[in-house]
Amino acid sequence: MCESWILRQVWISLCVCGLLCLPACQRTTTSPPVIRADDSESGAGGAKTPDQSPRDASDDFFDNGVIPQLKIELKESQAKKLREDARRYVKCKLIETLADGETTYTDVAIKLKGAAGSFREFDDRPAFTLNMHKHEKDQTFHAMEKFHLNNSVQDESYLSEWLCSDIARDAKVPATRVTHARVWMNDRDLGLYVLKEGFDRPFLKRHFTDASGNFYDGGFVQDIDVDLEKDSGNGPDDHSDLRTLQAACLELDPKKRWPAIEERLDVDAFVSFMALELMTCHWDGYTPSKNNYRIYFAPPSGKARFLPHGMDQMFGDPGTPILEYFEPMVVNAVMHNPEWRKRYRERVSELLPLFEPQRLHDKLDTLLARLQPVVAAMGEEFVNAHADRVRELKERIAAREPNLREQLQNGDPTPLEFEGDKPIELADWFPAQETDDTKVEEVEIDGQKRYSIQVGDSGQCVASWRRKVLLAKGRYRLESRMRTESVEPREDEQGTGAGLRISGGKHDNKLAGDSDWQTISHEFEVLEDVRDVIVVAELRATRGRLWLEPISRLVRLAPE
């Protein structure tokens, strides 16, 4: 046996700290700090804590930490269907082996899952969704109607989803429970998987007093302004609940916006949701990226509750910011309300004890004790790689908590400071485009940098160069130098041809056809005390090209 193998085994032994020899009932972790329960989290807003729900077989399954062996038996005709349409359910047989015996489930619905980074084809190492309830109404898997087997290709520690789900529940944010499984597809050993409960009816009943509300899947990089997939609920099918929340967030008058949002959103619960996502560095969640989330409109209030999802790439950057103004619609609206922003900072401070490094390391060591026999059975190469990934995760966790404290101490970002009517130059714009074949690039001509947007072969172009800027209350004028080549404008509700605007607004200026370099300006007003504004230089056209100088000027106008 090689020396590196011995060292790895010693390392694993140190990680588990002797926990393997203890019976499950004697294994302990650091008790979670007492976290304040908002009214919304204690029943007034339609929510309840899991300890208010009667225990069922799922509690025993997750609490005992047993790692089952799962064999999926799929006929070739069904496998062919998955190869042709991965998102379509087919029938399979599921055989579960535990220490006390074997259980066979028949007529289980199965499909492949995963987004751009995690999806794998059927003959690779795919992730699965298994629906026990679809064909057999009384069939469940440890009281679950639906569960997922995640391939964890973006988390080789296999620990992130489990840890952050646990932190979420300690923070009183409803989250799906997680364990692990060793998985076979017919006779093909697929290895270690993360087993995660689904957002099914038992989950909703576990966390909310009434499970009949509309429940939406956020989809892939989508905000609430699209028709999100409705997974369940007795509410309206016209997305009117989402549209009402959207309209509240987009209301221009802050005095009308705040009460309108409060009517449709459980604000205290959302503040906790944002704090959890940013503190765990969930860069791919709703708060920073409008991705990986679910929304439940909880009766009787009908207020929206956001739930975290896809927590397999957490604690990636220990310096992830927590006090910036982010773009997703609901986050942007809530974080611009001074009172709610204060609540958010207070919530981050309250949750800090949950991120104490030794506390989280102890949690991981407990899980490693359960995983060790399975990991060891995967072979030396897997053991080596897994040990490295665990060590790296622990290092990032250790660095996160002091960074959170530092960010809180440094305080909120401050808006730009103007000297009278002297303009401020805005450089370093970033590209954005809605049409794939549009060419958005930075080029150098005669030693000078230029931004360019050129319509592609589709003849449809909606693209822009953008710049975020934090501004205080007041009136402003944005000035940019542009020219156009053979631009045939496309007209829609946000503008026509080439022009300037701010995100969420419309450009009332217009360049089209062939035009020489000229200064285009756009005036706008910030009504809040502080607002993060995205200024936009865009092209909406069916043909042609826009040229833009890379430095624009922003002027604060004198009060009228």
Strand pairing report for 178-185 and 69-73 = parallel
User: What's residue 382's pLDDT?
Assistant: 95
3-class SS at 159? coil
Integer-rounded Cα radius of gyration of the chain: 26
What is the per-residue pLDDT across 385-420, written as a single tens digit (0 to 9) for each? 999 999 999 999 999 999 999 999 999 999 999 998
pTM: predicted TM-score of the whole model, two decimal places: 0.84
- pLDDT over 60 at 360, yes or no: yes
The two tokens of residue 129 are 């969704």
| pLDDT for the residue 509 | 83
Closest among 325, 286, 317 to 468, alpha carbons compared: 325
The domain limits of the chain are 1-30+361-400, 49-207, 210-355, 424-557
CA distances from 377 to 97, 193, 371 (A): 16, 14, 10
Q: What are the Cα distances from residue 355, in Å, to 2, 171, 288, 317?
A: 37, 11, 20, 15
Mean pLDDT value across residues 232-252: 95
Percent of the chain surpassing pLDDT 90: 82
Interhelix angle for 380-410 vs 338-351, to 10°? 130
Phi and psi at 246, nearest 5°, equal -60, -50
Name which of 159, 120, 382, 164 is nearest 277 in CA terms: 164
pLDDT in tens, 480-536: 999 999 999 988 877 889 999 998 888 788 899 999 999 999 999 999 999 999 999
Asked whether the beta carbons of 315 and 397 are under 8 A apart, the reply is yes
Q: If one looks up domain 424-557 in CATH, what number appears?
A: 2.60.120.260
- Cis (ω within 30 of 0) for the bond into 300? yes
d(Cα 167, Cα 404) in Å, to the nearest integer? Answer: 16
**pLDDT beyond 80 at 3:** no
436 compared with 168, residue with greater pLDDT = 168
Residue pLDDT, tens place only, 202-224: 999 999 999 999 999 999 999 99
Cα–Cα distance between 205 and 138 in angstroms, integer? 17
As a whole number of angstroms, the distance between CA 285 and CA 57 comes to 30
DSSP 254-304: HHHHHHHHHHHB-HHHHHHHHHHHHHTT-TTSHHHHS-SEEEEEETTTTEE
**26-35: average pLDDT:** 46
Strands (E), 42-126: 69-73, 90-98, 101-113
- Pairing mode, strands 215-217 and 188-197: unpaired
Q: What is the pLDDT of residues 130-166, one digit of tens each?
A: 999 999 999 999 999 999 999 999 999 999 999 999 9
State the DSSP code for 224. Answer: T
pLDDT at 32: 57
**Beta-strand pair 69-73/90-98:** antiparallel
Q: Is the pLDDT of residue 306 over 50?
A: yes
Q: What is the mean pLDDT of the chain?
A: 90
State how far the Cα of 163 lies from the Cα of 177, in Å rounded to an integer. Answer: 10
CB 314 within 8 A of CB 281: yes
- Find the range with the poorest average confidence among 41-50, 122-131, 400-409, 457-466: 41-50
Tens of pLDDT along 48-102?
766 677 889 999 999 988 899 999 999 999 999 999 999 999 999 999 999 889 9
| Whole-angstrom distance, CA of residue 39 vs CA of residue 152 | 36
What's residue 45's pLDDT?
A: 58
Residue 41 has pLDDT above 70, yes or no: no
